[in-house]
């Protein structure tokens, strides 16, 4: 087992870190079928808050290969234990928020230790009925096995850098509301498809340009195209979120949806049950390191350079 007691992997934790703690969850989303202003009033609160639950704007300066490997591992373990879809989203959210505020020492073992810590914390937050030992998370990576104390120290480091705000806002906070706005009778199937699409976006760094609400709306609209009973009504439903999202936000939804189409990211297994959303099989078919540049089939040079260097594009949040 690896012991980093002599390494420089330490996070400073000062008293003021606790002063801004925000551990109480925001109001629970409504699940009623009504579309009145009162029923959907909570969504504006979430939209105003979501920017504070995202990576720093300069997070473009990252090693996308290391991030891709971390997300790949998280999704494999997520699928192995059949965790809820939101758990994968929260894990990657912790990972991205941490990496955008803290420079880790070099080494594959460090990013893998961080991945274990982020997934472990997400499971504690989202999987209230799951009781796993820290050793149970150490799958699919035989090179590194960490003792529980080491993982716990990394968890504390992550929590300190996140300022103890572990209540992440993800696309799954919005997807149910947007799905119900489409008025689809087969709601479970639509939610399952949209959940699959959201999970498929996680390895792709380009989707960090978009807010969680944007990804959720785009995923629901894209999923709707795959379902025959509402695909014919897609054009009239395209602007149905206008009462929930601003004009600029709707433009970002269209942009996000086009990116999903370009990456063929909506591909889901046809034999999955149509009940509660589950983690997709082959979730990493789209990308190993996860960038549009690395997936452009017409550019071998692009793929090579993108995997070797950080993505330098600026994020464009609205």
Residues 191/175, Cβ–Cβ less than 8 Å: yes
Q: Tens of pLDDT along 59-111? A: 766 788 899 999 999 999 999 999 999 999 999 999 999 998 888 887 889 99
Inside any domain, residue 261: yes
Inside any domain, residue 157: yes
Residue 157 and residue 177 share a domain? no
pLDDT of residue 263: 84
Inside any domain, residue 94: yes
Plot region of 282 (φ>0 → left; ψ -120 to 50 → alpha; else → beta): left
Residue 154 and residue 193 share a domain? no
Handedness of CA 181, 187, 190, 194 (dihedral sign): positive
Across 159-184, average pLDDT? 89
Tokens of 15: 């008293």
Across 19-47, average pLDDT? 51
pLDDT of residue 132: 82
Question: Which CATH number covers residue 65?
Answer: 1.10.472.10
- How far is the C-alpha of 47 from the C-alpha of 317, rounded, in Å? 12
**Beta carbons within 8 Å of 74's beta carbon, 6+ residues apart:** 88, 91, 92, 95, 115, 118, 119
Q: How many domains does the chain have?
A: 2
Residue 279 and residue 180 share a domain? yes
**Is pLDDT of 265 > 80?**
no
Q: Which SS3 state, helix, strand or coil, does residue 114 take?
A: helix
Residue 223 and residue 202 share a domain? yes
Q: Tens of pLDDT along 154-165? A: 999 999 999 998
Over the chain, what is the mean pLDDT? 73
Across 132-149, average pLDDT? 83
Handedness of CA 200, 206, 208, 211 (dihedral sign): negative
Tokens of 154: 């990394």
**Is pLDDT of 18 > 60?**
no
- How far is the C-alpha of 310 from the C-alpha of 99, rounded, in Å? 13
Residue 288 and residue 194 share a domain? yes
Q: How far is CA 96 from the centre of its chain?
A: 9
Q: Tens of pLDDT along 180-210? A: 888 767 888 899 999 999 999 999 999 998 9
Q: How confident is the model at residue 301 (pLDDT cuts 50, 70, 90)?
A: very low
Residue 97 and residue 207 share a domain? no
């Amino acid at each position: 087992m690896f012991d980093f007691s002599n390494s420089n992997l330490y996070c400073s934790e000062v008293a003021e870190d606790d002063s801004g703690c925000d551990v109480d969850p925001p109001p629970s989303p409504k699940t009623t079928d009504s579309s009145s202003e009162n029923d959907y009033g909570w969504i504006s609160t979430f939209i105003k808050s979501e920017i504070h639950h995202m990576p720093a704007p300069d997070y473009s300066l990252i090693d996308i290969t290391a991030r891709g490997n971390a997300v790949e591992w998280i999704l494999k373990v997520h699928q192995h234990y059949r965790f809820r879809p939101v758990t994968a989203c929260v894990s990657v959210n912790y990972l991205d928020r941490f990496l955008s505020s803290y420079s880790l020492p070099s080494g594959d073992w460090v990013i893998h230790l961080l991945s274990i810590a982020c997934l472990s914390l997400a499971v504690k937050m989202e999987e209230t009925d799951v009781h796993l030992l820290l050793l149970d998370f150490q799958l699919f990576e035989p090179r590194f096995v960490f003792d529980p104390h080491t993982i716990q120290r990394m968890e504390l480091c992550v929590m300190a850098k996140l300022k103890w705000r572990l209540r992440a806002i993800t696309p799954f906070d919005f997807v149910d509301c947007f799905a119900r706005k489409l008025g689809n009778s087969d709601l479970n199937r639509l939610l399952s498809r949209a959940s699959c699409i959201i999970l498929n976006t996680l390895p792709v760094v380009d989707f960090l340009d978009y807010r969680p609400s944007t990804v959720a709306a785009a995923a629901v609209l894209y999923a709707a195209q795959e379902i025959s009973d509402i695909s014919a009504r897609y054009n009239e439903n395209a602007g149905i979120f206008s009462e929930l999202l601003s004009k600029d936000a709707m433009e970002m939804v269209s942009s996000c949806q086009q990116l999903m189409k370009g990456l063929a990211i909506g591909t889901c297994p046809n034999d999955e049950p149509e009940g509660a959303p589950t983690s997709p099989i082959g979730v990493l078919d789209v990308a190993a390191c996860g960038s549009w540049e690395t997936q452009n089939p017409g550019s071998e040079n692009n793929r090579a350079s993108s995997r070797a260097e950080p993505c330098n594009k600026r994020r464009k949040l609205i």
